Amino acid sequence: MASQDAKTQARRKSAAKLTRGFRGILVYLFVVSGIINLLALTGSMYMMQIYDRALSSGSIPTLLAISALAGGLYLFQGLFDIVRSQVLVRVGARLDRDVAPAAHKVAMDMPRFGFSGAEAASRGRDVDTLRGFLGSQGPMALFDLPWMPLFLVFVYILHPLLGALTFTGAVLLTSLTIVTEVMTRRLSGAAHEALIQRNAMVDSNTRNSESIRAMGIGGRALERFVVANEEHLAIQTRANDITGTFAAISRVLRMILQSAVLGLGAYLVIQGSLSAGAIIAASVASARALAPIDLAIGNWKNVVMARAAWDRLKGTVAILDQVQPKMPLPAPRRSLKVEGITVAAPGSGQVLLSGASFTVEAGQALGIIGSTGGGKTTLIRALAGVWPVLRGSVRLDDADLTQWDEEALGAHVGYLQQDYVMLDATIADNISRLDTEADPRAVVEAARAASVHEMIVRLPEGYHTELGPQGASLSGGQRQRIGLARALYGEPFLVLLDEPNSNLDGQGEAALTEAIEGVKRRGGIVVVIAHRPSALAACDLVAVVQNGKLTAFGPKEQVIGSVRARPAPGETVPAREERVRATA
């Protein structure tokens, strides 16, 4: 219960933060909407004056004066309507400008906590949804609804029976709005989830397009997409059927009400209780009174989507508000300490590594070996702070990684992940980690340290070569060496390399060894995952990770000799053969 109250309070604070600076604008829009609705009575008043004054008197000057006055009022109504529309568009743009960076920041972090790329991308689309709604007719209806009593009072003044009839129609249409809300709320959430699942499948298929094509499984991949798409369409169709049905019912009720007002007005004129002009005036005013409800029902799908997006954005801001400012810490210079860490896979919660402890001093390189799936990559992700640890600590100079500001820590860490993904930018931008004020000499030095400078300058655009999505214009070895240069950029204290020689030739492996030696000479630490023994050439220490456990740690010759001599606990014969080959 306390946890739920805390979440509710956090969301309220987030809503206040999101709307900060907008409250005055909302009051302004409310007042402008009042003026627009007041001017909307022009049509009713004009009809009354035409029928009851101009026609009865037969005066052309009176007709012209009334028409000119009505024309001016209509012009003012149109101008205020334009102002309201433009202000709402700018409110949407300002909200996007304020919130989109926060939403994108959370979206970038979501995959490392087990969320799919589609779920992460939906956070950005929430901002688009809200901005699009503010530029649509939906907000107009919501701002006009509070002024509906103005028209009801006007009709009531014409005759109480007409006012009662219009009020009854308003109650019926309001009831339809409530029913629409109740019936579409659950479907809206389900449709959003189904959309995320479908988009996640699209993302997966596009990322694996080469494998799908080569193995001839495009038809099967398409079938899985069709199933997910059909589920999304089924839910979306049900939601659209509900809103469409009630929108049609609303329009029919409005037409019936207008006819009923005309019929009742005619009866009252016959009875001598109403003037002929008042019949038309009542019909126009009653239709205008119910128009916001009809418009709201017709746009209810957008209203529901915008409200759901708003709720998720409040949650996004609440997440960022929970992040406390970090104390600036001095640059690490002494050691990397791993103290009994346990790491689980984000999303599934399955423990992949437990109880790992070791220490690496400045000027040393640690090689991590072990069978596939044993937990090596999990360990290096924990060392980089990419995956959070459940228990234990990863410390740089005795300071836990959680004490560091993310950007400050990043300046001291070089990281080459297993699939060495390139950013959609130039080679220079990739190496400099998107630093717009990067020193070109530092970029070249990092490239030289990775022995990739000569390859880069042979490209037509050199360091300004655009890599495109995923760096597809380069070979795997080229991307890997540029990734290594990025890891070495800025001479970080801790360099983490996940299978850095998987796509390198002999020359590239020699360059890798020299790069590791260079980090050691300047007093840094290197942790490298190795499946090929050449990556261990410059390592002083070796750790063996098997079945989620750190089974050995120490000087390279000692550990490798021990690994060759005896199997790890519970190790199968094929696994031992693979490990021996890795350390041969």
Q: What is the pLDDT along the chain (584 residues), one digit of tens a residue?
A: 445 455 556 555 655 666 666 778 888 999 999 999 999 889 888 888 888 888 877 888 888 998 999 999 999 999 999 999 999 888 888 888 888 877 777 777 766 666 666 667 777 788 888 888 888 888 888 888 889 889 899 999 989 999 999 899 888 888 888 888 788 777 877 887 888 788 777 777 776 676 677 667 778 888 888 888 888 888 888 888 887 888 788 888 888 888 898 899 889 988 888 888 888 888 888 888 888 887 887 777 788 788 888 887 777 777 666 667 778 889 899 999 999 999 988 767 789 999 999 999 999 999 998 888 888 989 999 998 888 898 999 999 989 998 888 888 888 999 988 776 788 888 899 899 888 888 899 999 999 988 889 989 998 888 998 887 766 677 777 888 888 899 999 899 999 998 887 766 677 778 888 889 999 999 999 999 987 677 788 899 999 998 889 999 999 888 887 766 555 555 554 555 455 554 44
Domains and their CATH numbers in the chain: 16-315 (1.20.1560.10), 334-412+494-503+524-584 (3.40.50.300), 420-491 (3.40.50.300)
Q: Determine the pLDDT at residue 527.
A: 94
Beta bridge partners, 406, equal none
Please state the pTM of the whole predicted model: 0.69
Q: What is the DSSP track for 554-579? A: EEHHHHHHHHHHSPPTT--HHHHHHH
Q: Determine the pLDDT at residue 563.
A: 65
Question: How many residues in the chain?
Answer: 584
Q: Rounded distance, CA 198 to CA 229, Å?
A: 6
Q: Which residues, including other chains, have CB under 8 Å from residue 446's CB and lie 6 or more apart?
A: 431, 485, 486, 488, 489, 490
Q: Rounded distance, CA 95 to CA 574, Å?
A: 58
Q: What is each CA distance from 30 to 80, 83, 143, in whole angstroms?
A: 12, 12, 6
Q: Rounded distance, CA 416 to CA 426, Å?
A: 18
Q: Determine the pLDDT at residue 356.
A: 92
Q: Determine the pLDDT at residue 79.
A: 94
Q: Determine the pLDDT at residue 6.
A: 52
Q: Determine the pLDDT at residue 560.
A: 81
- Backbone torsions φ then ψ of 425, nearest 5 degrees: -160, -170
SS (H, E, C) 441-472: HHHHHHHHHCCCHHHHHCCCCHHHCECCHHHC
8 A C-beta contact, residue 335 and residue 362:
yes
Q: Determine the pLDDT at residue 409.
A: 87
The token pair that represents 252 in the structure block: 């029919």
Q: Determine the pLDDT at residue 12.
A: 58
Q: Name which of 71, 5, 48 is nearest 276 in CA terms.
A: 48
Q: Determine the pLDDT at residue 345.
A: 83
